[in-house]
Structure 1
Amino acid sequence: MAFVRKHAFKIALFALCLAMAAYLLISNLKGEGEKLEVLQKAPDFELTSIDGEQVSLQNTNGKVRIVYFYFASCPDVCPPTTFMLSQVQDQLKEKNLFGEKALLISITFDPERDTPEAIRNFADKVHADYTSWKFLRGEEEPTIALAKEFGVGVFKDEKGQFSHFNVITLVDKEGQIRKWYNGNDENLTPEQIVKDMESLM
């Protein structure tokens, strides 16, 4: 019992990752063209953008959203996933949907290191358009808890380094989660994400 209590968070995180992995496997087996069912209600939040704007999930209702949890000093998965989201941004712009009907939201769970300046340096590398791609930050512990509510496991080790499940979440206009994407999936394309977003507009 002492072991379970000591490692309760790690055990819960492992269980969450197993459940998410199972979902993503089943989702990939379904193939394209499947109807996007409501998976769960997305948790609301109110966080601050790098421009000082207060942004909540509720006040962005009416638009289809992509929500992605990351940290700017991530050594591996976050930069390429953010680059792919920049391609989603560009395709939405080409279709005149970006801002009008679609929004991208990136949330850092490392606010201590991810200052507004650090986030801007990170986002500028992929030419993020801040008008409708919101880079948000808040307090660390509540943000990690929020990520978990979104189905994204985040763990911080004794050295202050993060590991996390690299998941992109699709949220519809009513604030309901319709799909989770495995950001590590080599077969995932921006075209697929844009197509799914369009189907919810």
Structure 2
Amino acid sequence: MKKIYLTLISLFIICVGAGILYLTVYRQAKMELPRDITMETAWGDEYRFSEMKPKVRLLEFIYTNCPDICPNTTFQMKKVRDKLENQHVFGNKVEFITITIDPKRDTAEKLQAYAKTFGVDKGDQGWIFLRGSEDDTKKLADTFNFQYRDPGNGMIIHTTSTYLLDENNHVIKQFGMGEKGFRQQDVYEAIMNKIK
């Protein structure tokens, strides 16, 4: 009887370990920006994922009507950007990408206003605010297992993850969102470690 319990416990531990390995390593290694998507910047310029130069990238999904976690995360990213600018790596080695998951409501004007709130203007290099078709947005979000849905009131329920990508646009690390989930120092150190 003890052998059966030990065997069952061992199988359980192996299954849990395999599940954790799949979720943290294998699935994350498969996450990358699809090259066949073209989006539009907040200022109306075309942005082709197939023409991206090799850089370390920090990617977030937001919607401009979000009352809390989206703007808080973008604010935290602004602080990380300031540190990276002090190291003279922002723009030339590191790029931030913010993508709206609500392209129907988030017009170019709304996305511009959102970007300007965090000190990003049209001519600024290194931080791109994007909107695309609903289909392309969904395809992109699905690539990162980023889930979202609108219950009908415009307050979108969504996953709370941001993604650090290497120069080949593969996810190498995930961070949370908001003040507690997105730890500036951890993100900054992960970026600096990657570009050294």
Q: Distance in 2 between matches of 1:142 and 1:174?
A: 20
SS in structure 1 opposite 2:191? helix
CA contact (8 A) 1:40 1:178 kept: no
CA contact (8 A) 2:73 2:182 kept: no
TM-score normalized by structure 2? 0.77
Structure 1's consecutive aligned runs of 4 or more residues displaced over 6 angstroms after TM superposition are: none
Letter in 2 for 1:152: F
Identity of paired residues, percent?
A: 27
Say which one has the larger Rg: 2
The answer for the alignment partner of 1:101 in structure 2 is 93
Letter in 2 for 1:133: W
Letter in 2 for 1:81: T
Cα displacement (A) at 1:97: 0.4
1:126 aligns with 2:118: yes
Gaps of 5+ in 2: 1-18
The answer for the alignment partner of 1:176 in structure 2 is 170
CA contact (8 A) 1:61 1:175 kept: no
1:167 aligns with 2:161: yes
Gaps of 5+ in 1: 1-21, 28-37
Q: Distance in 1 between matches of 2:61 and 2:181?
A: 20
Q: Which has the larger displacement, 173-182 or 117-126? A: 117-126
Relative to 1, partners in 2 of residues 1:108 and 1:165: Cα closer, same or farther, differing over 3 Å? Answer: same
1:155 aligns with 2:149: yes
1:39 aligned residue (18, 23, 29): 29
Cα displacement (A) at 1:152: 0.9
The answer for the alignment partner of 1:144 in structure 2 is 138
Cα displacement (A) at 1:197: 1.2
Letter in 2 for 1:194: Y
The answer for the alignment partner of 1:5 in structure 2 is none
Q: Equivalent residues in 2 for 1:19-38 (5 A)?
A: none
Cα displacement (A) at 1:160: 4.2
Letter in 1 for 2:70: C
Cα displacement (A) at 1:59: 2.3
Aligned residues: 168
Cα displacement (A) at 1:144: 2.3
The answer for the alignment partner of 1:30 in structure 2 is none
1:96-126, Cα deviation, whole Å (9 max, x unpaired) = 0011100000000111221111112112122
Letter in 2 for 1:113: R
Q: Equivalent residues in 2 for 1:58-69 (5 A)?
A: 58-69=50-61
Cα displacement (A) at 1:184: 3.7
SS in structure 2 opposite 1:200? helix
Cα displacement (A) at 1:200: 1.8
RMSD: 2.2
Letter in 1 for 2:133: E
The answer for the alignment partner of 1:15 in structure 2 is none
Q: Distance in 2 between matches of 1:166 and 1:56?
A: 25
Write 1 or 2 for the structure with the bigger share of helix.
2
CA contact (8 A) 1:111 1:139 kept: yes
1:90 aligns with 2:90: no
Letter in 2 for 1:186: K
Q: Distance in 1 between matches of 2:132 and 2:65?
A: 17
